[in-house]
Amino acid sequence: MPKPYASAKGAFKSGSVRRHVNRRILRFSVSLGSIACILAVFLSITSVYPSLRHWQEINRSTLAEIKCVDSTCDTSKFTTDWQLGQSDYVVDARTGYFLNVPEPSTSGIPERFAPLDYSDTSFIAKFREPGTYNTPDGEVWRLYSRPVDFDGRKLEIIVGYAEKAPWKMVELPHSIIPLVDTTLKHEADKIAATLPGGKMKILGRRNAPSANADGFEVVDAGTQQVLSWGPWLPIFLPKRISLPTSGRQFYVEESELYIVQTDTDGRVVAISLVPIAGLWWLAAIAAFAFLSTSLVGAVLSLQFLRPYFALRGI
């Protein structure tokens, strides 16, 4: 007849082994879930690789069509090539001049690349009265700017009309310059009037005020950050703002994950944003992969691998 303490000792050992096996199964299933989670996120990101290569080719084609010498750049081929997709940002690194910026988009793609959404307000302040400006890429613009107070902030508004550009069929006759100047002032006033009424959400390009000018921009005078803009017009990047280095980097804008593709020919920099997915969507995919794989791993381990973990424990 077995002794009482021997039975208790055996029961204790049996319970201890069972807990040990359960802990091993738990760790094993969690490890499987973690691996599945990482793979799901990795596959979601790598699925945009074809799109990434596409935009890299667009960047390189853009750089090939722009020729810069000294302080000027020839963009006539780039601005009139309607078959070429446009890089989101194109900047002359020597002068800080924007050769292209993203067009406003109702779909939200492409979104802003906040590290480059700055404009040199010292240049904007030169046009308190309408004036003609010859751009570094050979275009001629009529520009007008005005300051405005908005919610305790100093803002700068600049509007422009292209007198001469490769993408315009007819050069602006000098005789109608006074009419253009009057219209520019009216458009600047119209944009300013939308600000106090709260019709434009600051930092939201989708809520930008409409303008009949060829281009406009609203800038925070204190930070030089672009708050809203319409079509492109001559602007310069402040000297304190650095351009991204050539290559790829992750970027998050309004809970959306992007890859920023940057290419350069040594002077001109082309930047394109490639959307991946919303962070919440990626989190949902990762959570589903983790929970489902962990659950399946735990069930299969309890059914088929319990002896293996028990032997490892012994």
Say what the pLDDT of residue 254 is.
Answer: 80
pTM reported for the whole predicted model: 0.75
Say what the pLDDT of residue 121 is.
Answer: 94
For residue range 14-69, what is the model confidence (pLDDT) as tens digits? 556 567 666 776 777 788 788 888 888 888 888 888 988 999 999 999 999 888 88
Say what the pLDDT of residue 302 is.
Answer: 64
Instruction: Tell me the pLDDT band of 201, cut-offs 50, 70 and 90.
Output: very low
Average pLDDT, the chain: 80
Establish if 118 belongs to a structural domain.
yes
Residue type, 119: S
Establish if 186 belongs to a structural domain.
yes
Establish if 14 belongs to a structural domain.
no
For residue range 165-175, what is the model confidence (pLDDT) as tens digits? 877 777 777 78
Q: What are residue 160's DSSP bridge partners?
A: 143, 215
Establish if 8 belongs to a structural domain.
no
Element (H, E) at 292: helix 279-300
Classify each residue of 125-140 as buried b or exposed e, where b means 16 or more C-beta atoms within 10 Å of its C-beta.
eebeebeebebbbebb
Say what the pLDDT of residue 96 is.
Answer: 92
310 vs 227, higher pLDDT: 227
Say what the pLDDT of residue 91 is.
Answer: 93
Say what the pLDDT of residue 69 is.
Answer: 86
Peptide bond into 110 cis (omega under 30): yes
Closest to 228 measured CA to CA, from 135, 113, 104, 142: 104
Cα separation values, 53 from 50, 56, 110, 123, 260, Å: 5, 5, 16, 36, 12
For residue range 207-233, what is the model confidence (pLDDT) as tens digits? 444 456 788 999 999 999 998 887 788
In percent, the amount of the chain with pLDDT more than 70 equals 79
Say what the pLDDT of residue 279 is.
Answer: 81
Establish if 81 belongs to a structural domain.
no
Establish if 134 belongs to a structural domain.
yes
Establish if 4 belongs to a structural domain.
no
Structure tokens, 3: 């002794």
Say what the pLDDT of residue 223 is.
Answer: 93
| Structural domain boundaries enclosing 165 | 93-277
Domain count, the chain: 1
Say what the pLDDT of residue 104 is.
Answer: 61
Say what the pLDDT of residue 144 is.
Answer: 96
Residue 314: pLDDT over 80: no
Establish if 85 belongs to a structural domain.
no
For residue range 85-135, what is the model confidence (pLDDT) as tens digits? 788 899 999 999 999 888 765 444 446 788 999 999 999 999 999 999 999
How buried is 271 (Cβ within 10 angstroms: 0-12 exposed, 13-18 middle, 19+ buried)? buried
